[in-house]
Amino acid sequence: MLTVSLHGIKLHSQLGLYEQEQVLGNDFEVDVDVWLETSSAQPWPFVDYAVIRDIVEKVFARPGLLIETFVQEVHTTLKQQFPDAAKLRVAVRKYHPPMPGEVHYAQVCFEG
């Protein structure tokens, strides 16, 4: 099995439940992994990193409330773009979420 990964995609987006987040935005980091079946009898499949980056950027260009919604939309769009993928993993980290105490990041990840 071949895994193609693009990790550490850094974005700023108006994603969050609180009014302050919708105005000021938050810093996010996204990791994407695409698993593809391989065969020694066939050329290995190709996944364009630029397409992955473009999909993530377009999803995060819109405002929203929940990280889970963004993870689902990125995953669904990647699955449409790469229908031969055996599995996809999308992880989104929101840095310094607005809550009491010191929290480095909150993360939502979906693999399937």
User: Average pLDDT of 23-42?
Assistant: 92
pLDDT tens digits, residue range 38-59?
988 888 889 999 999 999 999 9
Q: What is the CATH number of the domain that holds 53?
A: 3.30.1130.10
Number of domain units in the chain: 1
* Average pLDDT for 63-92: 96
Distance from C-alpha of 23 to C-alpha of 19, rounded to nearest angstrom: 6
Q: Supply the pTM of this predicted model.
A: 0.92
Higher pLDDT, 92 or 16: 92
Please, which residues have CB within 8 angstroms of residue 31's CB and are 6 or more apart in sequence? 5, 6, 7, 8, 9, 89, 90, 91
Name the residue with higher pLDDT: 16 or 7: 7
Which of 21-25, 72-76, 84-88 shows the lowest mean pLDDT across its residues? Answer: 21-25
Q: Residues of the chain with pLDDT > 90: what percent?
A: 76
DSSP codes joined into one string, the chain: -EEEEEEEEEEEE-BSSSHHHHHH-EEEEEEEEEEE---TTSPPP---HHHHHHHHHHHHTS-BS-HHHHHHHHHHHHHHH-TTEEEEEEEEEEES-SSSS---EEEEEEE-
Q: Is the pLDDT of residue 80 over 90?
A: yes
Place of tokens 């929101």: 94
Average model confidence (pLDDT) across the chain: 93
Domain with 9 in it: 2-111
